Structure 1
Amino acid sequence: MTFNASAAAKHLEAREDALYKLRKLTETWKGRSMTPTARNIEARLLAEISASDDSVRALVDAGVITEEQRHTSSFFVSNVTHAERSREQIMHFGRKLSELRELVFVDAEDSRPVDLILSAGGRGSRMLERLSSFEFEKASGYIPVKPAVTAFVQPRNVAAAADDAPMGTVLVRSVKVSAVVSASNESLADVPSQDQALRDSLSAAVGQRIDHAVFNGADDGENEVTGLLTDGTERTYTGALTYDAVADAVAAVENASGIATGLFANPTTVATMRKAFDANKLGALPELTVLPPLADGTPILTNGVVVVLDGDSVAVGVRNKFEVAGTDTMEEAYKTDRTFLAGRQRIAGVHVANAERVQVVKPGA
């Protein structure tokens, strides 16, 4: 019996949808006790995720996995019979391949939210869902700037003034983050599950590069995005990274009237923290998110750097559509009987409401 890739893809999409809703629910009730209704919704979403997992496992158990596939680090099983699909039938993020020419980008026809596409099931962006993201429709957009407001006891018969805390917006222009892969025309026609493999690889690559831009900035030669390592507040330490250094950074965020919602570091630094810090103390810190390097080894954060931030105080503009392109007529593609496929996302303006709410803990020189 062969593996039913189409059925598995549907279960995986259902799982992604339930997981997205669960994350939004958790974010909504963060720091507060859930109501009975919210608890019921949480239980239902967890049950849907578990059911999807069980369905995929059953499909895998019923399939036939070859010895060659067992030795690959990531694989997508397909029916042995060749599908022999036309380019009308091959889909790239909801777009027919026959519609794509000369790597001209068009909007994807994917019903999922952009941040869910870019998360790629946890293999892509890990930052967008942890920050305040604002969608825009074209090449630029506005990010609302939250004013720092102090409430007061209003004296009787005295009018209140709002001039000291004006609400504002920042116009931000986008930087395009793209990834391109190539696939043989034969495999595209014969292996339907390759559509999903290419989709996952491209969205993961773009999502990871967006995380790199969030911290390190990005410049496409026309527009520029500054990153948190530049816009945040730097704190240095000497010798080994200590719990006190991280705890002091958390306190600095909170002293700026923020809420430290997360710690971010690369895998090596996270391992150092887990080995050196007392488990109870480590558990008392905000959520720790590991940021692995890009596929080519480029680090998002270097060894020894820990970023502590208030996610609500960091705004990122994201275009509301993922863009795709493809071509088999470019000379390089035509000569090798291959198709070039691309994915692109526009991001704009990593805006920090208060620099003290982003603490960059790093080794001293």
Structure 2
Amino acid sequence: MTNPELIDAQMFSDQSRLGTGIQATTDAPASRSLADVKPFGVAINKRSIDWTPAVAEEPVPVVLGAAGKGSRLLSLVSQFPFASLKGRVAVEPRLTADATGKNDPLTALESPALSAVFEAAKIFAYVSTDRDELSDYPVTETAIKNGLTAAVGQRVDHFLLNGAVTTDQTFEGLLTGAVDTSVTALDAKALLDAVARVQDSGADATHIVARPSEIAAIIDTVPGDKLDRLPALIAVPDLADGTAAMPVGKVLVGDLSSVAVAIRSNLEFTASTNHPEGYPIDAVLLGARARVGNPKIAAPGRVQTLTVPAV
């Protein structure tokens, strides 16, 4: 007769592989040292590891997607991997061709092509755990890796939308660079008008981005025949500490393929067993970091926002 507890444990383990956010095991503690622990392919074999490139098993946008728990936007924009601290992103010029005669003046100098400089923001997350917990139970290692990549991925979405202000740099997000329109309601007319304005800019709207509650309201209020004419709906939730990625009463409508985002080719990893606060309690500090440039919009109007003013 099959043991129901074993069936439940197997189902629990299967769910963990599907990205539920839970890791489980029925195995005995692993017999391994801390040097055998490699959350991102980097062995924790020193008292402190400086930021080190992670071993790339998958592209960074896939890693930061964290099986649906991390970034919802990074895989939708146009990504440009880089290896240095900063670089340039060239935007294809939007030109109008003309028919001219041999004596007509040349107008090419009126339409210069430019590249935009980007600075990379460091987006990171930290977690601590007991040394024995980390070495004895591989599921702890897996849970930490998934948690770190999810946290960094979610903050990447917040950064793409809102930008950031650091001690040495101000990064502009899509909500600042978008063309904003004040509306009385996020109804079918307002949304379809925004889609039309994106088309006027020479692109096709690919996505509507908003808080989960706003997306739910759109699905509930927009008639089915008009809902089918809207772009894909993307719900971006708040961060774990409650920080809003998308403001209440605001929706982004745009061609996300027209958004250029530079991202460093490797995620970076750090670990420390001698942190002043962690060392006395035998704790290990671990961190993951991505470097992302602020988004560049290919042409004005390709990203629109709709705002319902607060009452």
Above 0.5 in TM-score?
A: yes
Q: Cα distance, 1:269 vs. partner?
A: 0.4
The 5 A counterparts of 1:184-195 are 184-195=130-141
- 1:106-158 per-residue CA deviation (whole Å, 9 max, x = no partner) reads 11112311111111111111111111111111211211122111123354687
Which residue number in structure 2 is paired with residue 313 of structure 1? 258
Q: Which residue of structure 2 lines up, in the alignment, with residue 77 of structure 1?
A: 24
Determine which of 167, 172, 175 is the counterpart of 1:221.
Answer: 167
Higher helix share: 1
Matched, 1:340 2:302: no
SS in 1 for 2:197: helix
- What are the superposed Cα offsets for residues 272-311 of structure 1, whole Å, 9 maximum, x if unpaired? 1111111221121011111111111111112221100111
Alignment of 1:47-126 (within 5 A): 63=10, 74-99=21-46, 101=48, 104-126=50-72
Q: Is the Cα contact below 8 Å between 1:175 and 1:224 reproduced in 2?
A: no
TM-score when scaled to structure 1?
A: 0.77
Q: Which amino acid aligns with 1:89?
A: D
Matched letter for residue 111 of structure 2: A
Q: How many residues align?
A: 300
Map of 2:208 onto structure 1: 263
Specify the alignment match of 1:230 in structure 2: 176
* CA distance, structure 2, for counterparts of residue 62 and residue 221 of structure 1: 48
| C-alpha contact 1:154 1:160 (8 A) present in aligned 2 | no
Per the alignment, do residues 209 and 100 of structure 1 end up closer, same or farther by CA in structure 2, a change over 3 Å counting?
farther
**Aligned runs of 1:1-365 on 2, under 5 Å?**
63=10, 74-99=21-46, 101=48, 104-155=50-101, 162-238=108-184, 240-365=185-310
**Judging changes above 3 Å, is the alpha-carbon distance between structure 1 residues 118 and 64 closer, same or farther for their aligned structure 2 residues?**
closer
Separation in 1, partners of 2:300, 2:136: 53
Deviation, 1:211, is 0.6
Q: Determine helix, strand or coil for the equivalent of 2:305.
A: strand
**Partner SS for 2:228:** helix
* Equivalent residue letter for 1:260: A
Distance (Å, rounded) in 1 between the aligned partners of 2:127 and 2:202: 45
Flag the 1:360–1:85 CA change in 2: closer, same or farther, 3 A: same
Change (3 A) 1:85 1:235: same
Q: Is the 8 A contact 1:263 1:288 kept in 2?
A: yes
Give distance in 1, aligned partners of 2:12 and 2:207: 40
Q: Quick one: structure 1 residues 100 and 164, their matched pair in 2 at CA, closer, same or farther if it must change by over 3 Å?
A: farther
Query: 1:194 is aligned with what amino acid?
Result: T
Q: Quick one: distance in 2 between partners of 1:247 and 1:362?
A: 14
Q: Secondary structure at the match of 1:88?
A: helix
Cα 1:99–1:171 change in 2 (3 A) is farther
Given residue 90 of structure 2, which amino acid in structure 1 is its aligned partner? P
Deviation at 1:100, TM superposition (A): 6.7
Q: Which runs of 5+ in 1 are unaligned?
A: 1-58
Question: Does the CA-based 8 Å contact 2:47-2:273 persist in structure 1?
Answer: no
Q: Distance in 1 between matches of 2:38 and 2:295?
A: 33
Letter in 2 for 1:272: A
Cα offset for 1:75? 2.3
Q: Is the 8 A contact 1:211 1:300 kept in 2?
A: yes
- SS of 1:130's partner is coil
Quick check: 189-198 or 319-328, which moved more? 189-198
Give the aligned CA root-mean-square deviation in angstroms: 2.3
